[in-house]
Amino acid sequence: MGTNLGFKFFVLLLLFTLFGLAVASASAGSFRVYPKADADTIPQRFQSILPTEIPDSLLPADTLPTMLTDTNDVGLAEQPRLRGSGTILDARVDYSAIDSIFFNVRERKVYLYGTADLKYGDIHLEAGYVEIDFRENLLYATGIADSAGVVQQYPIFTEGSQSFQSKEMWYNFETKRGRTRQVFTEEADGYLHGELVKIQPDKIIHVQDGKYTTCDDPDPHFHIGFRKAKMIPDDKIITSLAFLVIEGVPTPLVVPFGFFPNKKGQASGILMPSYGETSNRGFYLENGGFYWGINDYVDLSLRGDIYTRGSWAAKLGSSYRVRYRYSGSINLSYAINILGEENLPGYERSRDFRVVWSHNQDPKARPNSVFQASVNAGSSQASRFNPVSDQDYLSNTFSSNVSYRATWASRYNFSANFRHSQNTLNRTVDLSLPEIAFSVNRLHPFRRKSGSGEARWYENITMNYTMNARNDLRTVDSLLFERETWSRFRNGMRHSIPISHSMRVLRHFNLSNSFNYNMNWYLSSVEKYWDPQAIFIQQGDTLFGNMVKDTIPGFKAIHDFSYSASLNTRFYGMVQFRRGPLRALRHVVSPNVGFSYRPDFANPFWGYYQTYFDERRQEEVRYAIFEDGIYSGPQPNRSGNINFSVTNNLEMKVRNRRDTTARGERKIALIDNLSINGGYDIARDSLNFNDIRISARTRLFNNFDITYSSGWTVYDTDSTGRYINRFLWDTQKKLMKLNNTNWSLGFNYSLSSKTRPSTGAGSQLRGGMGQDIGGPDNGLGNGEPDEGLAPGPDVLQVTPGMVDYSVPWSMQFGYTFNYGSRYNYAQDRFDKTYVQSLNFSGDMQLTPKWRLGFRSGYDFDRKEITYTSVDIYRDLHCWEMTLNWIPFGFRKSYNLTIRVKSSMLQDLKINRRTHHLDRAFQTF
């Protein structure tokens, strides 16, 4: 009796709770509540999707009356904790539905129809139909059929960070076990399909008749099939016997078991090598090794190459990153490269190494100091045998720089650089270890602290201080690590103090004066003398007597100074037009007159120059004791130059045709620079006039760069071409004579779909450029974008019969031409030189899936085609195909690869290639 009375009280409390929620949420309108007096009250449109056996919803005779029918839309129905078979749910169950909710009080079940949404703890379920059994703590969900009979709104189950979609599912709230059918879920970089899936309380998932793929299509183009699998969230997926299926066709590629990492972030593991064959080095395995994800800040990879004919390589790579502080990467490699067979023609063996380091400091880490590194060094043959990119092969220089810069008090600057430069053609290596600079910003030593009153002339005097120190070495790469090499460093320090003053004269002229003082410090000097016992070999003859050069250790300080002054102004000329497209012409003339003076530092007073007597030539030879110094020292002979220059600039202003208001104007530079300069040296005893230089520069149509320069003299010459102290006007009645001239023409032109948009009616833009596969020099993205063009993978849809100018494409052309001439006095003619080259590259997206890129050129001096490559790319949805073809030249080769896009299955690929070292390329 007590039990029956308790049950009645529970039912009454439940009814009042639901009624209160319905009235309170009447305005929300998310679902309907229907009476439960009879099973026939279930709407007819839902009967087709209910379970086949629906329990009787009639209440016992002794129960309280059922709720009155309320057809008003109500909001979220909240279900309190309900007591089932002696158990209590761990959390509140919140559920709602767009269409309606059906309550079966006797069976303690709830039926949700139409976009049902249920939340229980960290569990979230969305489905077309959901049935909840509070007595057994069970949940069932499936899709719902629309008016056309198509089932949709299949269940989407989310627990924590794990989510999947299925055709139907069952879940127990108490045991937290579940079972689903036809599951589809995304895991890491892949997708997991399963015919039958069981969810365990520890969130481990067991899959039966499943498949794993990186294709996001519901019917994947390829997958790895298996009978059973176990998935551990955020760890791994382990399968039974696994086999590859492509387009529904099983392949013979079978493995005893499958293992797929499922961790988020970095994970350590084996790096699978690629394999192949080259004719000169045999069969190979390349880039195999191990990756170690040390922590969130640094990782490490060890890779290696091995060839059956003896070549091998070891590579170490590491990346590091500390947020808001610094980031970088380092790659080291060492290789033994062997080509051909020993004791046979064409045999080569070399030891090569490569160091590449990049380091960048975050500007927020230390605003007043910056440390950066860009190191690219290696042996001369490293880029030949093991190039990382085409640019490595095309470039014949390596350069590195490790720098530190600091600024403090907004006035003092310090920098230290460690530089390296290497030429792979002549195998020379230049090192600066280190190069230090310290400077003080411009000071006004005589300026008043208070800014009141008009400034005096001396308050504009400024001065700076700069200190530079270098320690340089030049050698060849084969001697770089020899002990004697490191004793040949050239070093020194230079202090510079420039003092300057500027003022305006007669309102329109600017007068500038400057005094420059330099002091060089060296740790050694040079001494030369004639040794009559020294042996000298010339053209096979042994001679006695030669100059001997000694390096004398000891500190030396060398001073030099100079003075200069200049007076300049600027004149403007303007002509305006009221009619026509030409609106105005402007001519700017900038004349300049200057004077500079430098004393004769070869005077014995300074002690910077010494002499010795050459007994063979019977003459006294002067030399500088600092001639091996790394900084230019004081110059001999006094200099007092009066120089002049006139610079011209010509521009025109035209109407902008693109401006429909007829008010827009744009400037066009006709002559960027046309200058004439010359000088007169008052310190010389003869030949006082300097050569006159004329130079000009302009750009036409934004693509043609034209430069011109020439040298002219006012003096006559003898038969050997040496100037004599006689004017041309006195001997030939000429003012000047041309000594040399140089013309340079540069042409760079880019065409693309963005610079020539489609103008035909019926065109509708859908996208722009797609994936870039042309390399660093394919020239993508040049040209000014027009409005309406947006980046994307697709192309225009154009009405049939119309020309489609908007297919994403680009073309670049480059042409350089240099002409030089120098007068040959011995033969009384001009010696002429011509240097010209042509290069071009392009990229075209033929269709949304096909892309073509190429680059080539022509060397007119060698009369041969330069480096040429063709790149073809095909998007195969979850796969991709790339083809790189170099049809001729030293790197003649091809590389065809068809592979899965995802990095998860990066080793699932087909690769066919020939190596450029094979020299046996055959057109395919």
Residues 417-474: tens digit of each pLDDT: 999 998 887 888 899 989 999 999 999 888 887 767 777 888 889 999 999 999 999 9
How high is the pLDDT of residue 861? Answer: 81
Q: Using 50, 70 and 90 to split pLDDT, how confident is the model at 386?
A: low
pLDDT at 853 > cutoff 70: yes
Exposed, middle or buried: residue 663 (CB in 10 Å: 0-12, 13-18, 19+)? exposed
Please report which helix (H) or strand (E) contains residue 10, including its range.
helix 2-24
Q: Which two tokens stand for residue 783?
A: 């040209």
Half-sphere exposure of 558 (CA within 13 A, CB side): 27
pLDDT (tens digit per residue) in 779-797: 333 333 333 333 333 333 3
Q: Does residue 479 or residue 788 have the better pLDDT?
A: 479
Q: What is the pLDDT of residue 58?
A: 35
> Both tokens of residue 921?
């390329």
Highest mean pLDDT among 19-28, 570-579, 717-726: 570-579
Domain 1-144 has CATH 3.30.390: no
Report cis status (omega within 30 of 0) of the bond before 434. Answer: yes
List pLDDT tens digits, range 406-415: 999 889 999 9
The count of other CB atoms within 10 Å of the CB of residue 494 is: 21
Position 387 scores a pLDDT of 64
Q: Are the C-beta atoms of 376 and 333 separated by less than 8 Å?
A: no
The residue among 442, 471, 447 whose CA lies nearest residue 457 is 447
* CA–CA separation, 222 and 243 (whole Å): 11
Domain boundaries, the chain: 1-144, 280-386, 401-445+456-484, 760-914
**pTM of the full structure:** 0.63
Q: Which one, of 745, 749, 747, 748, lies nearest residue 835 by Cα?
A: 745
Task: Assign 70 a pLDDT band (cuts: 50, 70, 90).
Answer: very low
Looking at residue 923, its pLDDT comes to: 36
The C-alpha angle 98, 99, 101, rounded to 5 degrees, equals 100
pLDDT tens readout for residues 741-785: 888 888 877 777 665 544 333 333 333 333 333 333 333 333 333
Q: How confident is the model at residue 309 (pLDDT cuts 50, 70, 90)?
A: confident
Q: Using alpha carbons, list the distances in angstroms from residue 890 to 423, 865, 869, 887, 902.
A: 19, 12, 12, 10, 33
At 452, give phi and psi (nearest 5°): -80, 145
- pLDDT (average), residues 717-734: 84
Please give the pLDDT value at position 321: 94
pLDDT number for residue 658? 67
User: Which position has the higher pLDDT, 903 or 586?
Assistant: 586
Instruction: Check if the beta carbon of residue 906 is closer than 8 Å to that of residue 899.
Output: yes
User: What is the overall mean pLDDT for the chain?
Assistant: 79
- SS3 call for 144: strand
Kindly tell me the burial class for residue 116, based on how many C-beta atoms sit within 10 Å of its own C-beta (0-12, 13-18, 19 or more): buried
* Statement: residue 367 has pLDDT above 60: yes
Higher pLDDT, 641 or 786: 641
Tell me the CA distances in angstroms from 690 to 217, 362, 675, one per residue in order.
78, 52, 16
The one-letter code for the residue type at 754 is: K
CA dist., res. 398 & res. 423, Å (int)? 7
Look at residue 8 in the predicted model and tell me its pLDDT: 46
Distances (CA, A) of 673 to 508, 590, 631, 648, 705: 22, 11, 32, 6, 12
Q: How much is the pLDDT for 753?
A: 66
Q: What is the mean pLDDT of residues 834-854?
A: 86
User: Which range among 72-81, 539-548, 613-622, 872-881 shows the weakest confidence by mean pLDDT?
Assistant: 72-81
Q: Is the Cβ–Cβ distance between 573 and 584 less than 8 Å?
A: no
Q: How many CA atoms lie within 13 A of 130 on its CB side?
A: 30
For 101-149, write each residue's pLDDT tens digit: 888 888 889 999 999 998 888 888 899 999 988 888 898 999 998 888 8
Summarize the confidence of residues 205-224 as an average pLDDT.
Answer: 90
Predicted local distance difference test score (pLDDT) of residue 610: 92
Per-residue pLDDT at 72 exceeds 80:
no
* Residue that wins the pLDDT comparison between 239 and 751: 239
Cα gap 76→99, rounded to integer Å: 12
Average pLDDT over residues 385-391: 63
The region of weakest confidence among 51-60, 273-282, 823-832, 908-917 is 51-60
Can you say how many angstroms the Cα of residue 401 is from the centroid of all Cα atoms in its chain?
18
pLDDT of 267: 75
- Mean pLDDT value across residues 720-730: 84
Query: What residue ranges in 137-214 does DSSP mark as E strands?
Result: 138-142, 144-145, 151-152, 156-159, 162-165, 168-172, 178-187, 190-199, 205-213
pLDDT value at residue 723: 83
Q: The dihedral of CA 251, 255, 258, 260: what is its sign? A: negative
Total residues found in the chain within this entry: 924
477 in helix, strand or coil? Answer: helix
pLDDT higher than 70, residue 84: no
Query: Is the pLDDT assigned to residue 818 strictly greater than 80?
Result: yes
Could you tell me the two tokens for 199?
């969810």
User: Which range among 204-208, 386-390, 426-430, 813-817 shows the weakest confidence by mean pLDDT?
Assistant: 386-390
Give the mean model confidence (pLDDT) for residues 286-306. Answer: 92
The reported pLDDT for the residue numbered 10 is 44
Distance CA 143, CA 870 (A): 51
More confident residue, 90 or 394: 90
Please tell me the distance from the alpha carbon of residue 516 to that of residue 333, in angstroms, as a whole number: 49
pLDDT digits (tens, 9 = 90+) for 13-36: 444 444 444 333 333 333 333 333
